[in-house]
């Protein structure tokens, strides 16, 4: 039984709940791209918290909004989860021993992928994320297969000392995984995060960031912004590393390659995930020696 005392999520962390609900839906398909046996517990705990009769009146409305957005973003986001699964597996297959989830959200790969015990797996996210996440995982007796270490931090602060204190080794090549938190930061904040990652990365480390233009006039993006309150006060703020991300990485010690989203999505045979826009995709970076 899932925990009914989980702390409700608000703001940008709500997007992590949406992704967990997408993973839960995908796991129930006969042709599923992955199986996440823990995602349902997060969805159930959140529903219990938001639909509790004692919850504020707007909580039920928020739950309905999340469900609607899950429907609208499902096709592309579920393919994205599998693509990151494959990236993680490739890192492990190549002998990688250290990985950092930047904005880990409600990720469960440390539990569901059968990763080796000698892989040191760090999760960075806000304290309130882990206040929701950890009780739910405990309630379903989840046990990681690798060496999982939780680091509650705000990426907008100086988070490096806390990561190192948790056992991160700066001389070990590291895979840095960001499933979408950096694009929510302002460009200055995102650049500081990228600079910290660069400073902490040994040669051979890997980092990836999204390069995408979205039509923010679409209703689903307007609704997402309202739900997480992004840009509510400063709509003109540039988010993420901006249009010159690849150049910044090249100038700061990374070797980069751009891969379009459609090229990434095509092998997974989900036609509705294909966008037809070759400019959207991800920058894959490897730290030079």
Average pLDDT over residues 50-64: 75
Which has the higher per-residue pLDDT, 45 or 27? Answer: 27
Report domain extents, the chain: 14-287
Quote the CATH superfamily of domain 14-287: Vaccinia Virus protein VP39 (3.40.50.150)
CA distance 133 to 6: 8
Q: What is the pLDDT of residue 8?
A: 55
**Of 20-24, 217-221, 240-244, which gets the smallest average pLDDT?**
217-221
Band of residue 156 on the pLDDT scale cut at 50, 70, 90: very high
Mean pLDDT estimate for the chain: 88
Helix spans in the chain (H): 14-27, 39-50, 57-93, 109-112, 127-139, 160-165, 187-200, 219-228, 245-251, 261-265
Which has the higher per-residue pLDDT, 2 or 50? Answer: 50
- Quick one: 41 exposed, middle or buried, by C-beta within 10 A (0-12, 13-18, 19+)? buried
pLDDT, tens only, 22-34: 999 999 999 999 9
Long-range contacts of 130-133 (CB under 8 A, 24+ apart): 131/6, 131/7, 132/6, 132/7, 132/8, 132/9, 132/13, 132/42, 132/45, 132/46, 132/106, 133/42, 133/106
pLDDT, tens only, 58-91: 777 777 888 888 998 999 999 999 999 999 999 9
Residue 216: is its pLDDT beyond 80? Answer: no
Radius of gyration of the chain (CA): 18
Residue 221: is its pLDDT beyond 60? Answer: no
């Amino acid at each position: 039984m899932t925990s009914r005392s989980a702390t409700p999520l608000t703001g940008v962390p709500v997007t992590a709940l949406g992704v967990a609900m997408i993973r839960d839906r995908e796991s129930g398909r006969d042709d599923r791209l992955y199986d996440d046996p823990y995602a349902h517990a997060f969805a159930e705990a959140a529903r219990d918290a938001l639909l509790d009769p004692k919850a504020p009146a707007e909580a039920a409305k928020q739950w309905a909004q999340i469900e609607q957005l899950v429907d609208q973003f499902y096709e592309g986001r579920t393919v994205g989860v599998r693509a990151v699964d494959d990236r993680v597996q490739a890192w492990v297959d190549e002998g990688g021993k250290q990985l950092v989830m930047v904005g880990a959200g409600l990720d469960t790969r440390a539990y569901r992928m059968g990763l080796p015990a000698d892989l040191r797996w760090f999760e960075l996210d806000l304290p309130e994320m882990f206040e929701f996440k950890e009780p739910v995982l405990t309630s379903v007796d989840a046990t990681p297969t690798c060496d999982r270490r939780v680091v509650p931090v705000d990426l907008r602060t100086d988070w490096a000392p806390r990561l190192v204190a948790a056992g991160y080794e700066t001389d070990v090549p590291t895979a840095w995984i960001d499933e979408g938190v950096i694009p929510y930061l302002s460009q200055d904040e995102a650049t500081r995060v990228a600079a910290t990652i660069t400073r902490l990365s040994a040669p051979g480390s890997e980092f990836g960031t999204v390069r995408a233009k979205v039509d923010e006039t679409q209703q689903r993006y307007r609704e997402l912004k309202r739900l997480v309150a992004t840009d509510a006060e400063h709509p003109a703020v540039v988010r993420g590393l901006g249009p010159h991300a690849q150049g910044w990485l090249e100038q700061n010690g990374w070797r980069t390659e751009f891969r379009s989203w459609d090229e990434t999505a095509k092998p997974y045979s989900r036609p509705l995930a294909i966008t037809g826009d070759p400019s959207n995709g991800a920058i894959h970076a490897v730290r030079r020696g």
